[in-house]
Structure 1
Amino acid sequence: MMAIFRKSIFFLLILCSFNAAAQQGTPAYSFLKDDTVLRKKLYDQTVLKKSVLIEQAGKEQSKAYKEIYNEIFDEIGSMWKSSRVITEANTYNYLDNVVKKIVAVNPELKPLDFKIVFTRDWWPNASCMTDGTIVFNAGLIIYMENEAELAFVLCHEMAHYYLQHSNKAIKKYVETVTNKDFQAELKRLSKQQYGANKELEALAKTTAFKSRKHSRDNESEADRYAFKFLKQTGYDFNAITSCLQLLDKIDDSLLYQPTPLPQAFSFASYPFKKKWINKETSIFSQLDESSSGLSKKEQDSLKTHPDCLKRITMLKDSINQQIAGKQFIVNEAIFKQLKADFFAEITEECYKQESLSRNLYYSMQLLQDEHKRTLGIYSVARCLNTLYDVQQAKKLGNKIDTEDKQYSTHYNDLLRFLARVRLEELANINYQFCIQYESLMTNYPGFDKELLKAKIAKNNYQ
């Protein structure tokens, strides 16, 4: 017992000495500092908007409206309370200035209560919510080439709110589910002993199909109005085409080419094991991965942004008639700085949201950025230690994704690795990884703790 106590004290003293050394070293990577007062203000505006919409719903279908508004606004409220939203002053002001540029030359937009922010979300998307909140994910802007593309997407989302697409969809949904025939069908199925689930599924599919059709019609209408809004601004109209071309292929886009796992996690004293990522040799896994059994139309429908090429075709003639505008109007330097900063913000947010496979995937890509390499090294070490902890606690399942044909080959390799690597192997890999960069990371705050944790984990198996 005394030996264990002395060992614990020994490691504690080492940790304290590491902390003292780190305080004298180079600073850690500086992430964007959010304005919590601004975030609270935006949250309060959302709460007020919810009350207004519920009051406007009237009494006849108030219960259905209240239920759906509660669900929608709970999600929006959770977003404002999270670390996902970027409210750092320079970032927020830059986006706000682009918005003001658009609104200033489109009088019909001036009465609208927009709340427009960047988020740290990794998926490449922007969306307009029921209360006028427009979120522009960092996972989209990092792939954009210029401010004109940013302005087009903003015009598109502002068009959705101007045209009240969300509220119209809610109204249509409420009218459907409160319809007497619909309710009678639900009641009949609830009493049916056999085949009820199948018929309920068919009913849901019919409703979903109609919803998707309206959604695509809405996208086309929003594009037309986005063209109209952008036309007044002086931005380059070619950005519409380049942006839609980007969206069409964005699911396969990478900011950095990932380092192959056998290269990243192979060490002289602990070589990489091919079994960690080798694919199964069953007849099913030998099928061509590209042959999903889906038509091109169905494959396109699964994209984050379907129908982009059709959207280009519909706007092509109008675009060609315009005089070329400017790629940057508000601030080119800030746009490029945001592109440079946002990938690190995405990576860190994945860790905060406990999306560990995503965090590790992006952290390994940061290793290739000479300006953020030390952040990447620290982030990989921290994530591997956390993966060890959650795997040891048997809570790994909800922290990592599972393989999917919609993911890239590199990401699927990583997911296969995480699903197969054992605790002892993970401990050894992280220790070797930390040792490999120990001299480079001597003064990086926090790395000493990760190295110590990795060493303790490895020593558990000696």
Structure 2
Amino acid sequence: MLRWLLLVLLLGIWDARAQSVPVSRPYFMPDTVRAYKLARAHRTALLAQLEGAALPGNADYRNHYRRISTEAATDIYNTIRYSALLDTVLDAAVQRIFSRIQQGNPTLRDVELVLVRNPEPNAYAVGRTVVLNVGLLPTLENESQLAYVLCHELAHVQSRHLQTTLHERLSTLHSRDMRRQVRHIVQAEYNINSRMKELVMGLSLSSSYHQRRHERQADSLGYELLRRTSYAAPQAYRTLQLLDVADAPASETNPELARYFGCGGLAGRFATAPAPAKSIFTVAGPEKTPLQTTDTLKSHPDCAKRMAYLHGLAGGQIAEGPQPVAPAFARLRDLSRLEVLQSWFDTECYDHALYEALRLLPQQPAADSYARAIVQLSLYQLRQRLTEHRFTEVVSNSSSPQPAAFSQYLRTLHELRATDYADLSACFAQLPTSPAPVAASDSDEYALAARYAAAALAPDPAPAATLRRQYLADYPRGRLRELLFAESQIKRKSN
């Protein structure tokens, strides 16, 4: 009991501390009307653009085209409606960069940029909308590199690659030659499956070739678009260097799990050890075929090939290797890391959320209170899903394609019992907080929600009930209300 009293006391000190010092928090917009209107506008514009085109081909071709157009419009609507990041810092910064690009390329002024809360480092163009995932920002070093990414996507727009790809694929699928080949294969007595696979492989190779051709065009035209701006064109080459390792882990080492959770009897659970030779949670990754390793089936060419091509375009005038990061851009990267972490949590990827929160703690002391809250909330959600027999919905399986450190961390998660989570929470709460200041107005909801989560994991239910009432009273429209309380309320009413 003394241990749990210590837990509540420490969490109380953490909350009081959080009310006295400044820190950044992910952006939260309780009124979603703006995102709804923006999503509708982009859906309408995309449908008008795609359906306004003159459609060749037969009725099957046209019906297929309209179905794809509707699906694309629905997808862009959902992406913006539920993921648009319309804050006054990150969105304002990327929109300013996008506007400067358009000033140098006035024919593209009608294209719009939408920043979305998605942790994957990616950007793409749909119709005359460029979608930028916030997960791309932490991987870059300066505005010129971001400008090249945006110019690359604008090049896709200007070249009408979406429409070209759509027409090429549908023309192939609905051609007389394709129908004749399928008919002959279906009517054959032998080797139907193998012959159908050969046909599909041919389609894949053809479509991948055309997509890679479009990527090279976008690299070339994107570089020219960048040269027309005030941004540094040599940074285009460095951008490709960074994208080449964007999916690699920032660190090959795990967060110090033993430091965060190794108090008392849990110390041995987090000792570094090799994975068991055989485990039901270890999934062997498929071996890569020569086609995959030689870039044949990739829609994007290998970055090494793209860099070589860009090196020639730039006449050797390139920026190579790590670049200095200006303080203003460093702040954007720090804020974007918080949005990436929140993205993992909002999409119920609690394995990633816990992992990234633990990694963030030593990297950004100013985000100490927020990262600590995500740790406690992730532990709470993991325990909930484990007791509901839904653990695999929110935790990945360990597999060989994943970084070794992350796979080891996943194996540890899979070995935990439901009763372990209370001890994990108590251990974590005993760690000293960062001396970095935290702003009161930003931290209250997260700190209170984390106190509730930690109390809900503890054996005594009374503190959790009190904190639940306090949260619902203080934050009737809080960001975490639905996640923490809505499902349990529904279940109690239905029982």
Offset at residue 313 of structure 1 (A): 1.4
Q: Does 1:411 pair with 2:406?
A: yes
Q: What is the aligned length? A: 435
Q: What is the rounded CA distance, in whole Å, between the counterparts of 2:349 and 2:378 in structure 1? A: 10
Rate the CA distance shift 1:25–1:304 in 2: closer, same or farther, 3 A.
farther
- What are the residue-to-residue correspondences of 1:252-401 with 2, within 5 Å? 252-254=248-250, 258-273=254-269, 278-281=274-277, 298=293, 306-320=301-315, 334-368=328-362, 369-401=364-396
CA distances 1:363-385 after superposition (whole Å, capped 9, x unpaired):
11122121112222211111011
CA distances 1:161-218 after superposition (whole Å, capped 9, x unpaired):
1001111111111112211232344455566787544443332222111111111111
Aligned to 2:78: 78
Q: Does 1:119 pair with 2:116?
A: yes
- What are the residue-to-residue correspondences of 1:146-157 with 2, within 5 Å? 146-157=142-153
Aligned to 2:206: 210
CA distances 1:389-440 after superposition (whole Å, capped 9, x unpaired):
0011011112122223332122111221222222223343233323446999
CA distances 1:315-348 after superposition (whole Å, capped 9, x unpaired):
2133246699xx99xx966533221101111111
Q: Does 1:43 pair with 2:39?
A: yes
Q: What is the rounded CA distance, in whole Å, between the counterparts of 2:197 and 2:286 in structure 1? A: 27
Q: What is the rounded CA distance, in whole Å, between the counterparts of 2:310 and 2:18 in structure 1? A: 58
Alignment check: 8 A CA contact 2:125 2:131 kept: yes
Structure 2 residue ranges without an equivalent (≥5): 463-495
Q: What is the rounded CA distance, in whole Å, between the counterparts of 1:135 and 1:127 in structure 2? A: 5
Q: Does 1:229 pair with 2:225?
A: yes
Alignment check: 8 A CA contact 1:360 1:380 kept: yes
Alignment check: 8 A CA contact 1:159 1:225 kept: yes
Rate the CA distance shift 1:274–1:366 in 2: closer, same or farther, 3 A.
closer
Offset at residue 98 of structure 1 (A): 1.4
Alignment check: 8 A CA contact 1:54 1:66 kept: yes
CA distances 1:6-49 after superposition (whole Å, capped 9, x unpaired):
xxxxx9xx99x979x87994588532244844423321222222
**3-state SS of the aligned residue for 2:131?**
strand
**3-state SS of the aligned residue for 2:115?**
strand
CA distances 1:58-94 after superposition (whole Å, capped 9, x unpaired):
3743201111112222221111121x22111343332
* Stretch moving more, 210-219 or 37-46: 37-46
Q: What is the rounded CA distance, in whole Å, between the counterparts of 2:186 and 2:197 in structure 1? A: 13
Aligned to 1:421: 416
Alignment check: 8 A CA contact 2:125 2:153 kept: yes
**3-state SS of the aligned residue for 2:247?**
helix
With the length of structure 2 as denominator, give the TM-score of the two structures. Answer: 0.76
Rate the CA distance shift 1:274–1:360 in 2: closer, same or farther, 3 A.
closer
Rate the CA distance shift 1:116–1:293 in 2: closer, same or farther, 3 A.
closer
Alignment equivalent of 1:160, drawn from 156, 162, 174: 156
Q: What is the rounded CA distance, in whole Å, between the counterparts of 1:303 and 1:360 in structure 2? A: 32
* Structure 1 counterpart of 2:145, one-letter code: E
Q: Does 1:454 pair with 2:449?
A: no
**3-state SS of the aligned residue for 2:132?**
strand
Q: What is the rounded CA distance, in whole Å, between the counterparts of 2:422 and 2:299 in structure 1? A: 36
Offset at residue 106 of structure 1 (A): 2.0
**3-state SS of the aligned residue for 1:367?**
helix
Alignment check: 8 A CA contact 1:431 1:458 kept: no
**3-state SS of the aligned residue for 1:118?**
strand
Q: What is the rounded CA distance, in whole Å, between the counterparts of 1:23 and 1:373 in structure 2? A: 11
Alignment check: 8 A CA contact 1:377 1:437 kept: no
Rate the CA distance shift 1:301–1:195 in 2: closer, same or farther, 3 A.
closer
* Stretch moving more, 367-376 or 213-222: 367-376
Alignment equivalent of 2:246, drawn from 216, 241, 250: 250
Q: Does 1:105 pair with 2:104?
A: yes
Rate the CA distance shift 1:432–1:197 in 2: closer, same or farther, 3 A.
farther
* Structure 1 counterpart of 2:351, one-letter code: S
**3-state SS of the aligned residue for 2:209?**
helix
Alignment check: 8 A CA contact 1:43 1:80 kept: yes
Alignment equivalent of 1:138, drawn from 134, 139, 164: 134
Q: What is the rounded CA distance, in whole Å, between the counterparts of 1:423 and 1:101 in structure 2? A: 53
Q: What is the rounded CA distance, in whole Å, between the counterparts of 2:71 and 2:194 in structure 1? A: 27
Q: What is the rounded CA distance, in whole Å, between the counterparts of 1:74 and 1:277 in structure 2? A: 47
Rate the CA distance shift 1:392–1:49 in 2: closer, same or farther, 3 A.
same
Aligned to 1:65: 65
Q: What is the rounded CA distance, in whole Å, between the counterparts of 2:296 and 2:399 in structure 1? A: 16
**3-state SS of the aligned residue for 2:419?**
helix
* Structure 2 counterpart of 1:93, one-letter code: A
Rate the CA distance shift 1:252–1:445 in 2: closer, same or farther, 3 A.
same
Q: What is the rounded CA distance, in whole Å, between the counterparts of 1:145 and 1:49 in structure 2? A: 33
| CA RMSD of superposed structures (Å) | 4.0
Rate the CA distance shift 1:416–1:231 in 2: closer, same or farther, 3 A.
same
Alignment check: 8 A CA contact 1:94 1:334 kept: no
Offset at residue 297 of structure 1 (A): 6.6
Rate the CA distance shift 1:387–1:300 in 2: closer, same or farther, 3 A.
farther
Q: What is the rounded CA distance, in whole Å, between the counterparts of 2:70 and 2:318 in structure 1? A: 46
Alignment check: 8 A CA contact 2:24 2:335 kept: no
**3-state SS of the aligned residue for 1:135?**
strand
Rate the CA distance shift 1:192–1:380 in 2: closer, same or farther, 3 A.
farther
Alignment check: 8 A CA contact 2:138 2:336 kept: yes
Q: What is the rounded CA distance, in whole Å, between the counterparts of 1:209 and 1:102 in structure 2? A: 34
The higher relative CO (CA closer than 8 Å, separation ≥ 6) is in 2
